[in-house]
Structure 1
């Protein structure tokens, strides 16, 4: 029953509505990925759900801002790691937003999501997508857990490379759902004395108690930590049943010193299932922008 319901939710999450004929903006999304890939004789790259070496690329995404914000028409091209890194040389002073997606997300959808996030928060041209080999098959939750765990050392190595190149205080990290495991298993490993500027966990699909245990070390690596939660997140309700424990993203009563918790449970525009609200809600988009721009978030949120 749990997996059947999850299938309904996730199939709806990936759907796009009718789009206008003309795009409002074209987003260029550089990405690094641990997805294994193969290349055919025409040079086309096909990514898999196997964990491989880190490779780079660039997505071009059309954005349509009408009654609701939509992204479509994704095209990809390979880039070397150095090309991805040097792409931020001209505008890194204003900060670089690193986005780590969650479960049930292929690379094309991850590019669309990153484009929407960048557009909402004002980080177009300053966003880097980390895409780990999540599957789009509903019943692979446990396999995806292993895939992100195997990907985390490579993600952390590249985050540190960004910090060394541009300054750790310029790096802002946003992680969604299962991508929030980064907080527990990668950032919380004290490999450096430098601190990243921001860590924002959106609907984190991580165990609440494990996060509390990891928090002292995590605060040695990040200056500012924010957690966005919703009691009405239906996908995390399913995850709670599967994992036999409350997820951090459900915990509206969560309080921890030095952590800003933003409860969006009462918002009316969280989308069906209430899990992708950073992409579907204008109000959540404004909150993210306030956090990233270092403006205080009103307690009424």
Structure 2
């Protein structure tokens, strides 16, 4: 018999007993957001603001067109892939909070205070797509492809990505892939099937980008249910081509709504020729709590506890870096969009992750990109204290054990030089044993 594949974690607890509708009613008001934006925000405005920033993004979509010019696309499924160029005006940083989308309270919006659409043009030919890329080509030759999540209308996806591209200050050409989400909390099943409907379209977009000589590297940033679409498209590409093209170098999964066991198998199916994966998780993600309950009570990848030895060992073996954002506090009541709303994480995206650079525990300890607080007895003391005690973002990366051990030794040397006796062994604590009768999560 073939060898049995090891699993990351067996689901514990009983499957969901209550009807899906009850769970959705409990979290529905929160998942719908505090306020809905006014309809028609994608209708271009005539006025501009001299101190606002213009962000041009290319949007590829499998949504069906809308007859409303202020919406452009609905949540229904289209028969083809459409391409659009949308230019969004973003107010100056002095009038907004980094990480937030300033939705207008009325139409037309005021570009001096609100996000506003300056132009929205459909691209009907390859020549138009190429011309847009030539105008917006980054100096690094890197392409950033964003895939949004569940319960997201077309205009919400456009403005959120414009905010990420602007606030991260990344040197990457911004492209968004948007799939048919109805933007309704009660359409979870429809949205999930829409991601499956769009797998080949996303693969086609990525394949086309790989073929462009001027594009040197591609980073994919996917959120929530969009991570399922992304990973499935990459898995499909790997099976079709015996691996994923090297140009697709980095994949960032933010709050991934992925069954942990299924994700492990998807990674196995991709084989060795796969991108570097970075995962943002948060144990207090309330949206993923609901997803877990309606998905057989199996842990979601975006809500795992990285202190769990089963997860740690499996992720380290797979070479996957995990950033735990549980300690970060943002305005999102569901704690499901910390990657976009936290100024520290947005800066980290732009300065390091989108550029393909690895982030380790040592980066957190220094407190530069992430704003980690640290005890300042000395530089050495502060570095390890930040990593072990006070850093708001905990990181699990394949080299974290060796890095932390070496750092702890330097910490001890620094304390010795200060005339103090360290209470550290310089070794990571061993993982506790877990027997069958114990819940180790």
- Choose the corresponding residue for 2:81, options 54, 57, 62: 54
Give the Å deviation of 1:56: 0.8
Q: Which moved more, 1:220-229 or 1:233-242?
A: 220-229
Q: Secondary structure at the match of 1:58?
A: strand
Q: 1:266 maps to which residue?
A: 327
Q: 1:68 maps to which residue?
A: 97
- Choose the corresponding residue for 1:106, options 138, 150, 153: 153
Q: 2:33 maps to which residue?
A: 12
Please say which structure displays the higher CA radius of gyration: 2
Q: Secondary structure at the match of 1:243?
A: coil
Deviations 1:24-66 (A, max 9, x none): 31211110000112558x9995534224210111222222334
- Choose the corresponding residue for 1:251, options 273, 279, 304: 304
Q: Structure 1 residues 149 and 167 mapped into 2: Cα distance closer, same or farther (>3 Å)?
A: farther
Judge conservation of contact 1:31–1:84 (CA < 8 Å) in 2. Answer: no
Aligned-partner Cα distance in 1 for 2:206–2:303:
28
Q: 2:430 maps to which residue?
A: none
Give the Å deviation of 1:197: 1.1
Aligned-partner Cα distance in 1 for 2:58–2:131:
11
Judge conservation of contact 1:51–1:147 (CA < 8 Å) in 2. Answer: no
- 1:235 correspondence with 2:287: yes
Judge conservation of contact 1:173–1:199 (CA < 8 Å) in 2. Answer: yes
Gaps of 5+ in 1: none
Structure number with the higher strand fraction is 1
Gaps of 5+ in 2: 1-21, 38-47, 103-114, 362-386, 388-392, 394-441
Q: 2:124 maps to which residue?
A: 80
Aligned-partner Cα distance in 1 for 2:71–2:161:
22
Which 4+ stretches in 1 moved above 4 angstroms?
A: 13-16, 42-46
Q: Structure 1 residues 24 and 105 mapped into 2: Cα distance closer, same or farther (>3 Å)?
A: same
Judge conservation of contact 1:229–1:263 (CA < 8 Å) in 2. Answer: yes
Judge conservation of contact 1:118–1:124 (CA < 8 Å) in 2. Answer: no
Give the Å deviation of 1:297: 2.0
Q: 2:58 maps to which residue?
A: 30
- The total of aligned residue pairs comes to 296
Q: Which moved more, 1:244-253 or 1:123-132?
A: 123-132
